[in-house]
Each structure stands twice: as structure tokens, then as C-alpha cells.
Chain A
Amino acid sequence: MFSFAKIKGGIHPDENKHLSNHKPIAKALLPDHVIIPLSQHLGAPANPIVKVGDSVKTGQVIAEAGGFVSAYIHSSVSGEVKDIGEYPVPHASGLKNLCIKIKRHGDEWHYLPRLSLESSADILIERLREAGLTGMGGASFPSNIKYLAKDKIHTLIVNAAECEPYITADDMLMRERAEQIISGIKIAQKILKPKSVIIGVEDNKTEAIKILKKALAKENGDKSSGIRRVWPLANSTTFYENLQISLAVVPTKYPTGGEKQLIQVLTGVEVPSGELPSSVGFLCQNIATVAAISDAVLEGMPLVKRIVTVTGRAVNSPGNFEARLGTPLSELLDQAGADQDKVSRLIAGGPMMGQVMKTTDVPLVKGCGGILALNEQEIPQAESSPCVKCGKCVNACPMGLVPLEMARHTKYKDYDGAVDFGLTDCILCGSCAYVCPSHLPLVQYFQFAKGELKKQSDQDRRLDYTRQLSEVKRARLKKEADAKAAAKAAKAKKRKRTTNPA
């Protein structure tokens, strides 16, 4: 399985990974209290099953999946439920959302029963659900749903590209826990039975690549020739093949770590517009999720912690922390030595797609791999000016869209026009805004336009529903009227017959 493919467009922002990529993963101090949002994943929020005053253990379920696309939530510390209420959550709106606040008394664990590779695929998928696993790369899609499409999958792609600048959490995970990753991949293989498994890593993570190669060679049982370098072309993807799992080193370029882009660069296949990767037989899983799968299955450990990079130039000692979910960001920032006076922008996620936090009180959630405290010099300052139609955005777009036209149509509230130039295919990666010499807030335009479109389609759906209801009603009334008329006619006929016996 080789590919010459490259992603279209893309950019090379300053990586800034050197700030934290030499720091081993440190265990973050356990916080006094955790605030656990009930909606950390894509889909319906979870339903709380604990009451205020209940005592809970680490790993105990505190909220059940609220629908098919939803996820279990577990307590990340042991202690007492203090409150179920609205708290600020990591969302750009700065709005509050339903959370469970737990005061920590200790760290007593409640594990799920351990499973092994011998367990059946269905049991393993059920375990992913029980353990509350969601994608840990950012989108937080419930993992078990992805694996339900197992019969369609021919290729498992493990996403270790980590193309967002600054963030080094996955890098450190690969360096320190390669065996765990491989056992996670084996579990995924057991469920999916894919024809091939590819780990995609950007070539800026040389250390992690070395360690993964070694681990894969060991896995292969052949130290001398376990790993074969198959694709020695400069500036294109290099494949290292093993019997079961191949490692692909892709050129560093943002946004190679986007699901669609990684599939493209590794295989040359494009995911059809509006479809999931499974529609063309791919399952793409973030490497941190793969490691969490191993924990969930082999250790019986639900998803209650994750590795997060706390970095930025307003932080004195940036680093990678293994922290419990629900830990307030303020505590993590303190542990990394953030200088509150120097912080001019606090971001959950990476600089390209992360969201601004208005307060440090928000908790760490499943999909958050980075916390950035940027100082004034690190954030773009220039004011926006009119578009000069330079087309740099068109060349930077990895999806082949025309951002300048999308923005222009959005500005004039012509959302259909924006769709015509590709709005629905926009992945909001921000490459266009990164290169825009007019400093236009393009991503903001597109988020807004997408929101408006959603509003529109919701409204249409509602109208449609009302229309259907009224049609049903009209049909029912007509039917009743017809029946009445028929009955009347029959009666009249009968009467006629009886009155005119002739």
C-alpha cells in the first residue's frame, strides 16, 4: 500500500513544538474538585445517574449515554458529588453547560472487568461504549459508533500526525508508551479485521518514529529486517512495512492530521463529500484514543484521564501532563508555571483550530489535547482590511474551495452562493485565514454561515414537519368527509329504495 498522493494546499506555520517536546509526560496533581461536563462528545449529552451527596469512585459511571450517538461519563476522582449544575465549559461561546462537580476525597478506583484479545468483537465494542471512549483528537466522536461499521472497514488508519503547532501530547505518548499503542491497535484489529493498518506520523517527530519503528520490529519478532523502508522518495510519504502494521512518515504540513487529508495522503483516496470515511472503507482513529482503547480493554480503565500539552510563551515551564478529565485549566496552568499577567489569549486546543477560553475555570475534557497560554507577541495583531483577491486562500485550502468567494457571499448573506463555492465542504482548518494578507476573519465567516445554514435547514425541517402534519390532517378530514358523504349517499339510496318499492 503506497501512495504518491499529497494534500492540496496546506501551510507551514511555525511549529513551536520545541517548547514542550523534550518534556516527559508528568502526572498532574490531583485537583481538589473536578467539574465534568455532560456533553464532551459529539451527539446527545449524557444523563446524570448520581445525586448530589452521592459518593463516587474513580472510574464509576456518573452519567449514561443519552442516545445512540452519545457517551458514558465517568468520575475521574473519588469523592462526593457536590453539585449538578451549570458551569463554564470549554466552548468558544463562553456559555455554561450542565456539569457534575465532584469534591475529591481520594483516588479509589472502580475498574471494569478486564477483557483480553480473546473476547469477541461485539464484547469489545460494548467495552468501548462502557468505557466512555470518544475520539481524542478534537472532534470527540463516540468510538463505539465508529467500530459498529466494522464490516465495511478494510483499512485502519491511526492518526498520529499531530499537525497542530505547539501540541506534543501524541508525540510524547508515542515515545513513552509505544507498547500500549500497539496493543490498542491489536484490539482494533481484532474488532475490525482490516486488510491493512497504517500509522500516519508527520516527519517532524523523529524520536517518536524511531521508537515506534523499534516497537513494531519487536512485534514482528525479527530484529534485523522487521521493518522495511519501502518508499524512499524525498518529500513524499515514506512507508515502513511490517507484517501487520505499517508506519507511514508523511511530510509535515498543516492540516495533514485532518481525517480526510490523512486518508488522502496515505492512500490517495478521497472521502466522498458529505460521507464518513467508513463509506469508502476507512476507519481513522487518533493515536491517543488507540492507547485509551488498550487501557479500557486490558486494564478495565474507563476514559478518565488524558495527556494534554500545556504550553505557550506565557507559560514558564511548558510540558505534557497526564491529567484527570474535569481538572480546571487553572490548576494545569499553575503546574506549568503560567504567568497570568503575560497571558493575552488562552486557548483550548491548538492555535489553528483551538477555541478561546474566557476564563481558566473551565475543565479539561476528552477531546482537548492542548492548552495554550499565548503572550502578546504570539497572537496575530493586524487589523483586517478589504479583500484584494490575491487568491492565496485558494492555494492554501486543503479542500479545494474558494474561501474569498465564500466570504464575499457570506458577507452579503447569500449563503447559497457560499455553498456554491464549497461552504459545506469546509473543514474550518483556518489555512485560508493564516495566509490572508488582508487578515480577514475567514473562519469566523464560515462558522457563522454554517450556523445560519443549520438554522435554515432546521427551520425548513420544522416547516416540512408542520406541512406534513397539516397534510395528514387534511387527508384525514377528507377521508372523514368522504366517508360521511358515502354514508349519506348510501342512506339516501336505501331510503329511495324503501320509499319507491315500485
Chain B
Amino acid sequence: MQETLACSPHAHNSMTVRRIMLNVCLALLPCTAWGIYSYGLPALLMLLTTVFAAVATEAFCLKLLKQPLTRLQDSSAVLTGWLLALSLPPWAPWWIAVVGGFFAIAIGKQIYGGIGQNLFNPAMLARVALLISFPLQMTTWPLPTFVSGYSPGIFESFGIIFGNTALPDGVTGPTILGNFNTEASLGTSATDFFASSFSLKDSFFGTTPGSLGETSALLVLLGGIWLIVSRVITWHIPVIMTLSAGVPALLLSLFLPEKFLGFNFHVFSGGLLFGAFFIATDLVTSPASKVGQIIYAFGCGFIDFIIRVWAGFPEGIGFSVLFMNALTPLIDLYCRPKIYGRNLNRQPMKKNLV
């Protein structure tokens, strides 16, 4: 008989960190495939470059920290790179991808001590850093190839990502959120804009410009539902986050329809759904308890709504998630579950013969 000195329990549900990460990757497949279909080969090249940069940085850091390279097997670096790529403009140049991948892993994760230790969502940290540093490249949105009719070949694709190939006229356009910000500053009323420019169908199926992975609400939802079904996440964060941006939008648009756009616009365009299912639900940087998750999700959604409506940036998922990430330790400290046999102040309950 084998000599073992194992501690109980002698059973496990066989979930591993690696399986969680791969499950999320699986859930990302539909919207990724759609992104690559919409934006062609350059998008694929950008995605691969980002993932490669992230994994290479992870390997480099592990080596530097004298940790086993087998840690790479948990696939968390692949996922971080992948999520980052999906939140970038589809034709972002290679150096954006590389700097982003490096920043996400090195500054976003390993500096804190590696997996599980980071305070902020690495992908969002990198995205926000890129957005602030390189605003031009980070807001150049190509139109889907089937909209613009321009689908770059192999040579051109390499040129767009790795070279300096200038894009022909008419193949880029604003995102719908950005468009509304511009139009509103020109005095267009929300009602007019909604009637003329917004199409729920386009946002739902994903034929408007936007980040690589966020355009099709339908496919994001599909992946998100898979995550819930496979028990990687629970419904709390995505549903509450979506509602806490959607409901204020609904209320404001009911009372001030001239100035504010409604529920459908805010929920189905931009990165809200993508953020709600894939970004805010990051295990490491979201609170552990259910109550904490609810507060956190509310903050993520509501702050995103505020940024979209009143701040300078058309989209605020990155900022709102990072902001709530910073609050997560505090939320975790104060939102603990009620302990059995103790009251809410964590004092033993009174002996009481019932």
C-alpha cells in the first residue's frame, strides 16, 4: 500500500484554475470568431500578437522570479492577452498589442506577486494605459469589412498591423457611443439620434464598429450564458452590472428623452455586456462574497453609465471596473457572510431556549 499522509477531504469536484481559464476561453470563441470574420486577417494578427506578448511576458517574469515555467499551464496569461485583444480596436498596430500585452502581465499582474495577488484587472489596466497614452490609435475604429467593402489581403493585413500601411478613406468610422457624444455636442437631440443612427438589430448582431470582441451583443450573451451554465461565474455580477447601467438610462430617457438615450442603447452598444460577463467577473479582482459582488457589480455598471453620459470618454467600462477593483479589498473586509451562531456584529448569539 502506498504511504500517504493526505488531509481530508478525500474528494474534489475536479475543478482546476486551468479548467476555469479554458472555460472562459471557450466562452470567448463565438464573439472572437465574429470579430475576426468582421474585421478580417488584420484582426487575427492583432489578437495573436497580443496573446503572444502576454504569454512571453509571463514566461519572462516567471523566469525572473525563479518560478517554475509550468505555471504557464494555468492559461491565465493566454486569457489575459485574449481579453485585452478583444477590448482593443480590431486593427490596432502591433506595438499597441505588444505594449498592452506586456503591461497587462508585467505591471498588471506579476508586479503584485503573480496570479491571485493583483489588485486590478490586468487586461483593463493595460487597455486604460493604452487609451491614455495613445488616444489616436486607440480610437481608430475600422468598419466591418462587409460594411465598408474593403477586405485587406494577406500582404495588406501584415502592412496594417506590422507596417505603416495607411488605411484607405472610408474604411473607418466612429463607434455609436462616440458618435452620440459628437452629435450631442453639436446639438442633436437624443430622440433624433436614436431614430436616425441607432439600430438595435445592428448592435445585437454586431455590424457596427467597436472593439474586436464587443460588437455582437448576441454572441457575448451566448458566451456569458455558457459561463454561467458551466458554473465558472454566477449570474449576480453580469445581471446587476447590466441593470445598474440600463435602469438609470431607462429612467432618465423616460423623463428627459431629448437628452438621454434609453435602455437598449446603453445595454446593447459598447462594451457593457462584454465587460459584465467577461471583465468584471474576473475571479481575482472581484469580491468573494455574494453581497460584496452585488455592491461591486452595481458600482461597475453605474459608474460606467456616469462616464458614458457625463464624462469625456464615450465608453467607461475600463475605468469603472478599475475603480471598483480598487474598492474590492474594502468591500471584502466589510461584506462578509453572516457566521452561523453569531449575529451580524459577529458576536455569539444569545442563549435562548426556544
Say whether B9 contacts A351, CB under 8 Å.
yes
Closest chain B residue to A393, Cβ basis: B288
Contact partners of B350 in chain A: CB under 8 A: 272
With A345-B6, A386-B116, A438-B17 given, is the CB distance from A401 to B11 under 8 Å? no
Say whether B15 contacts A400, CB under 8 Å.
no
Please, how many angstroms separate the alpha-carbon atoms of A399 and B338 in the complex?
8
Contact partners of A386 in chain B: CB under 8 A: 114-117
| Residue B259 CB within 8 A of the other chain | no
| Residue A387 CB within 8 A of the other chain | yes
Of the stretches B146-154, B200-208, B211-219, B339-347, the one at the interface is B339-347
Say whether B348 contacts A358, CB under 8 Å.
no
Closest chain A residue to B15, Cβ basis: A437
Contact partners of B284 in chain A: CB under 8 A: 388-390
Closest chain B residue to A93, Cβ basis: B5
Contact partners of B117 in chain A: CB under 8 A: 386
Say whether A275 contacts B340, CB under 8 Å.
no
Say whether B9 contacts A343, CB under 8 Å.
no
Say whether B283 contacts A165, CB under 8 Å.
no
Please, how many angstroms separate the alpha-carbon atoms of A360 and B290 in the complex?
44
Say whether B10 contacts A379, CB under 8 Å.
yes
Interface centre among B6, B339, B351, B354 (most CB of A within 10 A): B339
Contact partners of B71 in chain A: CB under 8 A: 385
Contact partners of A425 in chain B: CB under 8 A: 339-342
With A390-B20, A425-B341, A443-B7 given, is the CB distance from A274 to B13 under 8 Å? no
Please, how many angstroms separate the alpha-carbon atoms of A352 and B7 in the complex?
10
Q: How far is the CB of B77 from chain A (nearest CB, A)?
A: 13
Please, how many angstroms separate the alpha-carbon atoms of A430 and B4 in the complex?
18
Q: How many residues of B contact A (CB 8 A)?
A: 48
Please, how many angstroms separate the alpha-carbon atoms of A11 and B16 in the complex?
16
Q: How far is the CB of B18 from chain A (nearest CB, A)?
A: 8
Please, how many angstroms separate the alpha-carbon atoms of A345 and B8 in the complex?
11
Contact partners of A43 in chain B: CB under 8 A: none
Contact partners of B4 in chain A: CB under 8 A: 344-345, 356
Contact partners of A421 in chain B: CB under 8 A: 336
Say whether B341 contacts A437, CB under 8 Å.
no
Contact partners of B287 in chain A: CB under 8 A: 391
Of the stretches A45-53, A83-91, A263-271, A487-495, the one at the interface is A263-271
| Residue A279 CB within 8 A of the other chain | yes
With A346-B1, A382-B12, A433-B9 given, is the CB distance from A391 to B289 under 8 Å? yes
Closest chain B residue to A155, Cβ basis: B354
Please, how many angstroms separate the alpha-carbon atoms of A352 and B9 in the complex?
4
Say whether B341 contacts A402, CB under 8 Å.
no
| Residue A161 CB within 8 A of the other chain | no
Say whether B353 contacts A154, CB under 8 Å.
yes
| Residue B197 CB within 8 A of the other chain | no
| Residue B337 CB within 8 A of the other chain | yes
Please, how many angstroms separate the alpha-carbon atoms of A351 and B288 in the complex?
27
| Residue A347 CB within 8 A of the other chain | yes
Partner of A358, one of B3, B115, B337: B3
Tell me whether chain A's interface is mostly helix, strand or loop, or mixed.
Answer: loop
Contact partners of A121 in chain B: CB under 8 A: none
Say whether B337 contacts A397, CB under 8 Å.
yes
Contact partners of A281 in chain B: CB under 8 A: 353-354
Closest chain B residue to A438, Cβ basis: B17
* Binary CB contact string for chain A from 354 to 398 against chain B (1 if under 8 A, 0 otherwise): 111010100000000000101000111010011111111011011
With A386-B115, A390-B283, A437-B17 given, is the CB distance from A444 to B7 under 8 Å? yes
| Residue B156 CB within 8 A of the other chain | no
| Residue B2 CB within 8 A of the other chain | yes
Please, how many angstroms separate the alpha-carbon atoms of A279 and B340 in the complex?
15
Say whether A437 contacts B20, CB under 8 Å.
yes
Please, how many angstroms separate the alpha-carbon atoms of A94 and B336 in the complex?
37
| Residue B349 CB within 8 A of the other chain | yes
Contact partners of B342 in chain A: CB under 8 A: 272-273, 425
Closest chain B residue to A401, Cβ basis: B339
Tell me whether chain B's interface is mostly helix, strand or loop, or mixed.
Answer: loop
With A273-B341, A390-B20, A437-B20 given, is the CB distance from A443 to B8 under 8 Å? yes
What total of A-B pairs shows CB separation below 8 Å?
184
Contact partners of A352 in chain B: CB under 8 A: 8-11
Interface centre among A272, A340, A378, A444 (most CB of B within 10 A): A272
Partner of B340, one of A152, A345, A378, A398: A398
Interface centre among A260, A394, A439 (most CB of B within 10 A): A394
- Considering the complex, which residues of chain B in the window 283-316 have a beta carbon less than 8 Å from any beta carbon of chain A? 283-284, 286-290, 293
Contact partners of A8 in chain B: CB under 8 A: 337, 340
Q: How far is the CB of B5 from chain A (nearest CB, A)?
A: 6
Please, how many angstroms separate the alpha-carbon atoms of A22 and B332 in the complex?
47
Please, how many angstroms separate the alpha-carbon atoms of A273 and B344 in the complex?
12
Say whether B341 contacts A260, CB under 8 Å.
yes
| Residue B196 CB within 8 A of the other chain | no
| Residue A435 CB within 8 A of the other chain | yes
Closest chain B residue to A12, Cβ basis: B13
Contact partners of B9 in chain A: CB under 8 A: 351-353, 430, 433-434, 443
Please, how many angstroms separate the alpha-carbon atoms of A378 and B7 in the complex?
15
Say whether A401 contacts B337, CB under 8 Å.
yes
Contact partners of A14 in chain B: CB under 8 A: 11
| Residue A441 CB within 8 A of the other chain | yes
Partner of B13, one of A272, A354, A401, A434: A434
Q: How far is the CB of B48 from chain A (nearest CB, A)?
A: 26
Q: How far is the CB of B95 from chain A (nearest CB, A)?
A: 30
Q: How far is the CB of B140 from chain A (nearest CB, A)?
A: 35
Please, how many angstroms separate the alpha-carbon atoms of A255 and B293 in the complex?
25
Please, how many angstroms separate the alpha-carbon atoms of A401 and B74 in the complex?
27
Contact partners of A404 in chain B: CB under 8 A: 288
Say whether A275 contacts B351, CB under 8 Å.
yes
Contact partners of A343 in chain B: CB under 8 A: 1-2
Please, how many angstroms separate the alpha-carbon atoms of A343 and B3 in the complex?
10
Say whether B17 contacts A272, CB under 8 Å.
no
Closest chain B residue to A166, Cβ basis: B11
* Binary CB contact string for chain A from 427 to 461 against chain B (1 if under 8 A, 0 otherwise): 01010011111110101100100000000000000
Partner of A279, one of B74, B289, B293, B351: B351
Say whether B8 contacts A388, CB under 8 Å.
no
Q: How far is the CB of A355 from chain B (nearest CB, A)?
A: 7
Say whether B16 contacts A439, CB under 8 Å.
yes
Contact partners of B5 in chain A: CB under 8 A: 92, 94, 356, 358
Partner of A356, one of B6, B12, B286, B290: B6
Please, how many angstroms separate the alpha-carbon atoms of A397 and B340 in the complex?
10
| Residue B19 CB within 8 A of the other chain | yes
Contact partners of B1 in chain A: CB under 8 A: 340, 343-344, 346, 360
Partner of B341, one of A152, A271, A434: A271
B contact set with A: CB distance below 8 Å: 1-17, 19-20, 71, 74, 114-117, 283-284, 286-290, 293, 332, 336-342, 348-354
Of the A-B pairs whose beta carbons lie under 8 Å apart in the complex, a sample of 20, sorted by A's number, is: A8-B337, A165-B11, A267-B354, A270-B349, A273-B339, A347-B8, A352-B9, A352-B10, A354-B8, A355-B8, A358-B5, A374-B10, A382-B16, A385-B16, A386-B116, A398-B340, A405-B332, A425-B341, A425-B342, A430-B8
Leading 7 A-B pairs by shortest Cβ distance: A391-B288, A430-B9, A380-B12, A444-B7, A390-B283, A273-B341, A400-B337
* Further 17 A-B residue pairs, CB within 8 A, beyond A405-B332, A437-B16: A152-B353, A260-B340, A271-B340, A272-B349, A273-B342, A275-B348, A344-B2, A345-B4, A347-B8, A354-B10, A358-B5, A382-B16, A385-B115, A388-B115, A394-B289, A428-B8, A443-B8
